Structure 1
């Protein structure tokens, strides 16, 4: 029986992971749970699965059943809880330290937190290799590429194609985008996700982060990574081999498929909710609109520049998204602020996780100051 810790257990990734464990109790034992602020939900999950190692990271609590508190408490939970694999469903840069701690503690990492790879891909891959642990992608696109690559020589792959739904503003003009709100940006047409990743999908920043993650996670040339807009979200990724044939990973859009594949790896078990009958289905594909959604080309620019530029891209975007939610800036100002910060000198590549976090902190401070000047 595999022992599992789920981080971000009340979010979309976390609840999907618990669905899988709930349906396969003979194969998995849940040993630890964490949430940011949804205390009632966390305690209900703990009661259902008889979990005693609980962490609440985003607010104070006096409930004695929750024994780990704040970001440091979360790291202690990982260190002190017996587990074979950690599902990291935490959103944002705060998910990096838990990823590091999981690997340092000798656990495999089922990774949904794309910021781990964007901010510190080289360091995290090196740590996993040193500890002899696996990093198993949980993002649907990266999970698809991971499985499409199995059994293939990387030298035989011509290109990697990540799909994007296009978000709620697909087809919008630049003038239309100037007037959209955070609330509109949160209404993703396909996936049920948190507000941050939903807004990132609307701006194409999420796809930009996934391009950088793909580059880091699989250690493949950036110019081999392409993006196609696919509104139906049934094709999660494709690879094209040197003979120019294409191979696609296709399923009903359901995050339980990549999560279950990570938990059971290397075995594949049925995920009924992912079953898709292609008869009568329409699939369409479009080139991404790089002009009206500049967060995607800015991600390529950050990756091409290497150094600390991917950290900058992620940090500024996180600050700008929160500013949009707080009604301090408009939607189209997100890429403007990101481009302004990327224009600085960030060529020095961090050599440790502490240095990564130091750059992240500095970028956030500079982004906050830029936003203040716009208000």
Structure 2
């Protein structure tokens, strides 16, 4: 059997760089067929010098000022030219959805690290994947763990999914101090080294909210059967409770290379290359109920999952815009949830029946979020 040919979308990000490390380490099993970056052309130049046979595109649209836009035609050309077997989608934010659509349409397997693909258009994506023969393999550590646990214990035997959260940098910060937290405080994640947006989402628990919505759609579980627990050590990546009450956990040191390697190797089980947990040493595991009064984004995410329709789209886009504003010093940390709540107060009961409708609802939610921020702070000019 020949090498598995891999495309890495968003090669300059955290998921992308970890994927490249896996391809380097297992060069006898994987080959970089192609990759994309958004605007880091120097990084791309160095990669091309290393992987001389790889195809490359930049996804930055020269005619767009919107950060959320990517050059979809470039992604399409990359997929067509690369003759790949699997694509790792590490493009952050709602921009990653359009890339996932292109992968699914062509029928390639998709190692998915982009939450927004499932959060905003899960039903449409799965329908198209069934038509084209694509297999969607989650790469997020939590969903990769759930994916493995469901495969091991069978969905019909599982009563509840338990998603773990690290708690982020503000795990022990009193509620009354959260409004004073600055960008540099929110970026100090105690466990994971990630991009700015996802690190802030971890601090607000918006990331966990998105993971709840994603789990509902990815595994066809109702929100009532999904629970979140704060686990600061990030060793247990998720758990399932079976109908007999027994709970099974997926445990490994916190390293994204594990779920990436599992996705690239699926359906085979790869041999270990990272050190497993060492039980000859003391291992401390804590589980703490999330403080939803201090971090309301988690509650808002559960509500969006329960309401369905376009509420998950509105939640995601509102949070995305609010995070962008926070990163530019336009709003405070606790404004993230306030703005998201204000956007969700609109009617989002409509269910998108096409990707075009998904994008229309994205634009509507984005406009409402920006209007709310402008209303709160007259100096909050358009961010882009």
Common fold, TM-score beyond 0.5? Answer: yes
Is 1:257 aligned with 2:258?
Answer: yes
1:19 — aligned with what? 21
Please report how far the alpha carbon of residue 73 of structure 1 lies from its aligned counterpart in structure 2 after TM superposition: 1.6
- 2:203 aligned with 1:202: yes
The DSSP-based 3-state class of the residue aligned with 1:273 is coil
2:98 matched residue in structure 1: 97
SS in 2 for 1:365: helix
Q: CA deviation at 1:127?
A: 1.0
Select 2:48's aligned residue among 41, 46, 49.
46
Match of 1:354, SS state, is helix
State how many pairs are aligned.
367
The aligned counterpart of 2:189 is 188
Distance 1:106 1:169 in 2: 42
Gapped runs of 5+ residues in structure 1? 61-68
**Aligned with 1:353 (options 349, 352, 355):** 355
Q: Secondary structure at the match of 1:104?
A: helix
State how 1:306-345 maps to structure 2 within 5 Å.
Answer: 306-345=308-347
Q: 1:51 and 1:161 mapped to 2: Cα distance?
A: 43
The alpha carbon displacement at 1:274 in A equals 4.9
Aligned counterpart, 1:267:
268
Structure 1 residue 141 corresponds to structure 2 residue 142: yes
In 2, Cα distance between equivalents of 1:176 and 1:85? 45
CA offset digits 1:184-207 (Å, max 9, x no partner): 111111000000000000000000
Determine the C-alpha separation between the residues in 2 that align with 1:205 and 1:94.
18
Could you tell me whether the CA contact under 8 Å between 1:164 and 1:231 is conserved in 2? yes
Q: Is 2:54–2:82's contact at 8 Å kept on the other side of the alignment?
A: no
Aligned mates of 2:23, 2:209 — CA distance in 1: 31
Identify which of 34, 37, 56 aligns with 1:32.
Answer: 34
Partner of 1:66: none
Aligned counterparts of 1:135 and 1:333: Cα–Cα separation in 2: 35
1:135-160 CA distance string (max 9 Å, x none): 00000000001001114332211111
Give the conservation status (yes or no) of the 8 Å contact 1:55–1:70.
no
Q: Which aligned pairs between 1:51-130 and structure 2 lie closer than 5 A?
A: 51-58=53-60, 70-130=71-131
How far is 1:236 from its partner?
0.2
Match of 2:220 in 1: 219
Say what the alpha-carbon RMSD is for the aligned residues: 1.3
- Work out whether residues 254 and 274 of structure 1, in 8 Å CA contact, stay in contact via their aligned partners in 2: no
Q: 2:12 aligns with which of 6, 10, 13?
A: 10
- TM-superposed CA distance for 1:282, in Å, is 0.6
Structure 2 unaligned spans of 5+: 63-69, 378-384
The residue number in structure 1 matching 2:65 is: none
Alpha-carbon separation, structure 2, partners of 1:38 and 1:178: 34
Q: 2:381 is matched with which residue?
A: none
1:175 aligns with 2:176: yes
Q: Distance in 1 between matches of 2:77 and 2:120?
A: 22
Tell me the secondary structure at the aligned position of residue 330 of structure 1: coil
Q: TM-score, normalised by structure 2?
A: 0.93
Q: How far 1:323 sits from its partner (Å)? A: 0.3
Quick check: 35-44 or 74-83, which moved more? 74-83
Is the Cα–Cα contact under 8 Å of residues 326 and 332 in structure 2 kept in the other structure?
Answer: yes
Deviations along 1:201-234, whole A, 9 cap, x unmatched? 0000000000001111111121111101000000
Within 1, Cα distance between the matches of 2:53 and 2:307? 45
Cα offset, 1:336, TM superposition: 0.4
Partner of 1:372: 374
Residue 238 of structure 1 contacts residue 246 of structure 1 at CA under 8 Å; is this kept in 2?
yes
* CA shift for structure 1 position 171: 2.0
